[in-house]
C-alpha cells in the first residue's frame, strides 16, 4: 500500500548527532544512497558556500521528474487495483528531492533531513517517506544519535532543507 501525503505524515526529521557536521552528513547520505536515492549535483554546496552559510548539505533524488500525462494517468488508475501487483505495471515513485543538511551543535551536529515530493503530474504522494525513515533508522542505529524529532514541515528560514531554498537553488516544484 502506498503512503499518502494527506494529513500530518512526517516528511523528515531533525537529529542531534555526536559527530562533526561533515561526518554526520556523510553518514546520512550513505544511508540515503543505501535506500536507493541518487546523489544530486554541486548546486546546493555551491549556494551554501556563496552565502557563507553555517550549513553543509547535499540533495538526493528518487523517481522520474515530470511524468507524462499518459504515464501519470496510468499510475493513478492502476495504483489501487489488483493490476498494481504485476511488476511491469508497478507505479513509479513520486519524483522527490530530499535535502540532508548539518551544522554545528553543542553535542556535535544538528542534522535536518526533509523530503520535497513534486507537485507536478498525477502523483504527489509521500512515496519517499518510508525510504527516508529507513535511512534515518540506519543513522540512528550507529549509536551516535542523541535525539530524533519528526518533521511535518520546515520553516523557510534559510535552511537548505526549506522549500524556499529548494525552489530557489534547485528550481524544484
Can you give the pLDDT at residue 1? 32
Instruction: Please work out, in degrees rounded to the nearest 5, the angle formed at the alpha carbon of residue 52 by the alpha carbons of 155 and 159.
Output: 10
Q: Per-domain residue ranges for the chain?
A: 12-170
Model confidence pLDDT, tens digit, residues 100-110: 999 999 999 99
The list of the chain residues with pLDDT below 50 reads 1-8, 66-70, 88-91, 122
pTM here is 0.78
Sign of CA dihedral 59, 94, 153, 105: negative
Instruction: Give me the residues paired with residue 147 across strands.
Output: 16
Can you give the pLDDT at residue 152? 86
Can you give the pLDDT at residue 3? 37
Model confidence pLDDT, tens digit, residues 35-69: 999 999 999 999 999 999 999 999 999 865 544 44
Can you give the pLDDT at residue 166? 92
Instruction: Name the burial class of residue 38, with classes exposed (0-12), middle (13-18) and buried (19+) by CB atoms within 10 angstroms of its CB.
Output: exposed
| 12-170 under CATH 2.60.410, yes or no | no
Amino acid at each position: 500500500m502506498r503512503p499518502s501525503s494527506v494529513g500530518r505524515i512526517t516528511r523528515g526529521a531533525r537529529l542531534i548527532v555526536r559527530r562533526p557536521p561533515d561526518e554526520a552528513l556523510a553518514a546520512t547520505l550513505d544511508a540515503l544512497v543505501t535506500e536507493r536515492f541518487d546523489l544530486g549535483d554541486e548546486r546546493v554546496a555551491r549556494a551554501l558556500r556563496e552565502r557563507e552559510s553555517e550549513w553543509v548539505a547535499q540533495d538526493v533524488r528518487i523517481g522520474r521528474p515530470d511524468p507524462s500525462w499518459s504515464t501519470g494517468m496510468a499510475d493513478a488508475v492502476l495504483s489501487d487495483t489488483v493490476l498494481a501487483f504485476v511488476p511491469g505495471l508497478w507505479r513509479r515513485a513520486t519524483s522527490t528531492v530530499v535535502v540532508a543538511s548539518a551544522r554545528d551543535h553543542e553535542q556535535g551536529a544538528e542534522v535536518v533531513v526533509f523530503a520535497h515530493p513534486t507537485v507536478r503530474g498525477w502523483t504527489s504522494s509521500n512515496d519517499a517517506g518510508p525510504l527516508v525513515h529507513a535511512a534515518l533508522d540506519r543513522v540512528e542505529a550507529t549509536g551516535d544519535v542523541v535525539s530524533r524529532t519528526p518533521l511535518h514541515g520546515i520553516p523557510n528560514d534559510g535552511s537548505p532543507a526549506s522549500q524556499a531554498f529548494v525552489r530557489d537553488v534547485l528550481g524544484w516544484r
